[in-house]
Homo-oligomer: A and B are copies of this chain.
Amino acid sequence: MSQLPNQPTEGPVPTSADVARLAGVSRATVSYVLNNNASVRISEPTRRRVREAATELGYVPHAAARSLRAGHTRMVLLPTMNFPAGPLHHRFFHQLESGLRRLDYTVVQYGSTGLDADDAPRAWAELRPVAVIAPGTIALTPQGISVLRRSGAKAVITLGPRPVDGAHALVMDQREVGSCATGHLLERGRRRIGVVMPEESGLGLFAEPRLAGARQAALSHGARIEPLPLRYEEESAARLAARWRTMGLDAVFAYNDEYAMLLMRALQDAGIEVPRETAVVGADDLMLGRLLRPRLSSVRMELATPQPLADLVDRLVQHPGGAPECHDLLRARAVHRESS
């Protein structure tokens, strides 16, 4: 049986001094024992007394006091984005966090919506994180980076569609997705390609580079690329479908599978045959796309394993001050089904 603390009532929070008093030793000894300090030899009976006193009081060390004394933290701060992450990102962050915890870092997400580009880094800096990994959806200015640096952050890393000056970058280059989808359509003989641009705010950060990638891929084939603004609503899709034939497109890259499903339904309802008249390609390779008829072609994305990234953070923390590195994390490949 684990020994339950005796006083579940409100009271002052026990400190190492309380443990020391109860164990009949000094605070120094308590510290040695509880941190398994190898450079000092403490007798086994003393160790036991200290440990028992600690559990009896329900002692938990005070991270703030410790890091104040140490002069640094082991906190890695991840500002959170202001919109839902897909399962892909989610798994990535989850594994990254596990990897960092294995390296003995404390990983903390800090919701930063509503803070502007200057306030946010200040707020983060107050916690004195040793590393910051900021998603691309968070604006990170050179000033912000500088604030973090001088507050003691050894590693400032951006994680998003494109690198940011002065920080290390983990790039998930969305152009790759656009060029991959477009390449697939080109291969299948399509030359007049629409590219859905979601009108929902926040998605532009991903949509723009995907469009750019599509343009780039189309260039060599002399294909036409036509941006198609679309809201994630049936009426918006119906309007787009109604004027579809006037646009003379033979294919569409629909930003992702959800927009693709929305648009494909609207096209079918408007009597446009998929894929004969218009090919449709999504992205994300959701299970649901496979349930449509025709089954939805898609772009499957894969992220690099996060462990090397965790190691990178650790390396930067231990040897700060190298030149900014830039790693590409995103791999995309087209998955042909029936809609293209």
Residue ranges of A at the interface with B (Cβ–Cβ < 8 Å): 2, 4-5, 7-8, 10-11, 13-14, 58, 60-65, 67-68, 73, 80, 82-87, 90, 94, 97-98, 101, 106-111, 113-114, 118, 122-123, 125-128, 143, 146-147, 149-152, 232-234, 258, 261-262, 265, 287-288, 290-291, 320-321
Contact pick for A150, options B14, B113, B320, CB 8 Å: B14
Whether A114 and B90, one on each chain, are in contact in the complex, defined by CB atoms closer than 8 angstroms, is: no
Q: Output the nearest chain B residue to A83 by Cβ-Cβ distance.
A: B90
Check if B128 sits within 8 Å of A113, measured CB to CB.
no
Instruction: Report how far A246 CA is from B14 CA in the complex, Å.
Output: 64
Query: Among the interface residues A84, A106, A123, A261, which one has the most CB atoms of the partner chain B within 10 A?
Result: A84
B234 touches A290 (CB 8 A): yes
Report copies per complex: 2
- CB contact between A261 and one of B90, B97, B126, B291 (< 8 Å): that residue: B291
Contact B58 A82 (CB under 8 A): no
Query: Closest CB-CB distance, A132 to chain B, in whole Å?
Result: 13
A150 touches B68 (CB 8 A): no
Q: How far apart are the CA atoms of A326 and B94 in the complex, in Å?
A: 30
Q: A8-B149, A262-B291 are in contact. Are A64 and B61 (CB under 8 A)?
A: no
Which residues on B sit within 8 Å (CB–CB) of A258?
Answer: 287-288
In this complex, the member of A7, A13, A98, A122 whose beta carbon has the largest number of chain B beta carbons within 10 angstroms is A13
Bound-state Cα–Cα, A14 to B149, Å: 11
A-B contact pairs, 14 of them (CB 8 A): A8-B146, A11-B150, A13-B128, A60-B125, A60-B126, A62-B128, A63-B126, A64-B65, A109-B111, A234-B287, A234-B291, A258-B288, A262-B288, A265-B291
Q: Evaluate contact between B126 and A113: CB separation under 8 angstroms.
A: no
A111 to B125, CA, bound (A): 20
Residue of B58, B63, B87, B287 near A146 (CB, 8 A) is B58
The A interface, classified by DSSP as helix, strand, loop or mixed, is: mixed
Q: Once the chains bind, are A143 and B64 in contact (CB under 8 Å)? A: no
Closest to A115 in B: B101
Smallest CB–CB gap between A234 and chain B, Å? 7
Given A68-B65, A68-B68, A58-B147 contact (CB < 8 Å): yes
State which of B2, B94, B290, B321 has its C-beta within 8 Å of the C-beta of A10.
Answer: B321
Write out the residue numbers on chain B whose beta carbons fall within 8 Å of the beta carbon of A262.
Answer: 287-288, 291
A84 in contact with B80 given A11-B150, A68-B68 (CB within 8 Å): no
Check if A146 sits within 8 Å of B261, measured CB to CB: no
A62 touches B68 (CB 8 A): yes
Q: What distance in Å separates the Cβ of A195 from its nearest Cβ neighbour in chain B?
A: 21
CA distance A290 to B232 in the complex (A): 12
**Complex CA–CA separation, A151 to B5 (angstroms):** 12
Q: Inside 8 A of A65's CB, which chain B residues have their CB? A: 64, 68
B63 touches A128 (CB 8 A): yes
Q: Would you call A8 and B64 a contact (CB within 8 A)?
A: no
Cβ-closest chain B residue relative to A233:
B287
Q: Which interface residue of A11, A73, A97 has the most chain B CB atoms within 10 A?
A: A97
CA distance A101 to B234 in the complex (A): 36
Write out the residue numbers on chain B whose beta carbons fall within 8 Å of the beta carbon of A128. Answer: 13, 62-64
Contact A94 B108 (CB under 8 A): no
